[in-house]
Structure 1
Amino acid sequence: MDQSLKDLRFDTAVFWVQIHDLPARKMTLEAVEGISKPLGCIIHCSDEDETDGREFMRVRVEIDIMKSLSRGRRVWFGPASDGWVSFRYECLPVFCYMCGRLMHDAKDCDVWICSKGTLNVQ
């Protein structure tokens, strides 16, 4: 690597993301990639066995770790049909359930400290 140390960036990481609560007919790579596109840059996988978790789908995503992780999103499934899909991240390092960010836990979270213990994990 011929890059200067000051030019190196450590603000993204690659994770497998599980997408739960999908209708059976939407458990396709195309649907999952569309749903997970707002999470970050999709890393395409040629092996379908790695993406099929039986009751959920998986996708590999390069995520900006300086932002809060999304817990899910509302998705439109068709005419008069929408719903919520949940995201679960595999093999996360230290994670704060108060603010949704990596690299610290709740006891070190500025959001938690400023709330003086009045916040609840949602």
Structure 2
Amino acid sequence: MTMIYRFSPILSVFHWLVLSPPVAPLPVIRKAFERLGFSEAYSVGLLHSNIILINFKSDLDFHKFWEKKTWDFFGYQMVVTRWTTSFSIERDSPLAPVWISLDGLPVHLHDLRALNSIDKLLGKTIRIDAHTANFSRPSTARICVELDTSLELPPKVRIGYGATSFFQTIVYENFPLFCHNCSRLGHSAVNCPRATRPLVPKSQVCDPVIGNFSKASVSPNIVAGTPEALLMYWMPLLLLLVSLKSRLPLLLMLLMLVLK
């Protein structure tokens, strides 16, 4: 009889983050980490030839480092992503910590349990803003939530308690961009460096001097050798001469066309 063991890891105990390329050399990163002053132990190792894996013992250190999203170590700007069991060197994890503001949320819903219930509609609660926790800024509630940035998130959610319900507007602060073209964090598909740019037809190329007029845009209905064809052929040069305010060459050119 064959027995299959299915291992289900508890991801909450894996405080692992990934530094995506381009990354600084490992000794440089270790030296920089010594200056950051983490509260508990951590380890930094090479996961791939150009990917660094960081393992934090402290949940506080883990989220402190992750929430910044990008780090600059001695000129190397690196994107921080969360390691998951679906990790791939070809794509970044779309999970990211995002602060959200709930402006005008009723004060009695600033309770931790109520806020956690609201956040579950979007993602996983990471922590609550200090002003929200001590009710020192009752006009709004701020929560840091783990969100999937590859999804289209709602601008508002419906909140119900008792016989009352209402729509609450959500403000996403510094929402990180996720590219669906290369599956990397930090930019959108519009600005993706790997995107294939469409070639512009030659007939649509605009000359900085003579505008959109070019030989490539000559109408195919014009018969070669006719005065119209000659005029169309020489028109760019004529326009150039006009732009240079050279009257004599222009008159000579017109005379040549008439005599021909």
> If the length of structure 1 is used for normalisation, what is the TM-score?
0.63
Partner secondary structure for residue 120 of structure 2: helix
Q: CA offsets, 1:13-65, max 9 Å, x none?
A: 111111233222212222111111121121134x6326554311011111111
How far the C-alpha of 1:103 sits from its partner, in A, is 4.3
Q: Distance in 2 between matches of 1:77 and 1:59?
A: 20
More helix by share: 2
Q: Distance in 1 between matches of 2:114 and 2:130?
A: 14
More strand by share: 1
Answer yes or no: is 1:49 the counterpart of 2:166: no
How far the C-alpha of 1:82 sits from its partner, in A, is 0.7
The aligned amino acid for 1:86 is T
1:24 corresponds to: 107
Q: Distance in 2 between matches of 1:14 and 1:23?
A: 24
Which structure's relative contact order is higher, taking Cα pairs within 8 Å and 6+ residues apart?
A: 1
Q: Is the alpha carbon distance of 1:77 and 1:93 closer, same or farther for their aligned partners in structure 2, counting shifts above 3 Å? A: same
User: Aligned residues, how many?
Assistant: 98
How far the C-alpha of 1:77 sits from its partner, in A, is 2.2
Q: Distance in 2 between matches of 1:75 and 1:18?
A: 15
Unmatched 5+ stretches in structure 2: 1-44, 52-86, 179-185, 191-260
Larger radius of gyration: 2
Q: Verify the 8 A CA contact 1:19 1:58 in the aligned structure 2.
A: yes
Identity of aligned residues (%): 23
Which stretch has the larger CA shift, 55-64 or 17-26?
Answer: 17-26
Q: CA offsets, 1:68-118, max 9 Å, x none?
A: 122111111222x111111101122459xxxxxx9438xx4xxxxxxxxxx
Unmatched 5+ stretches in structure 1: 96-101, 109-122
Q: Verify the 8 A CA contact 2:110 2:141 in the aligned structure 1.
A: yes
Q: Verify the 8 A CA contact 2:124 2:145 in the aligned structure 1.
A: yes
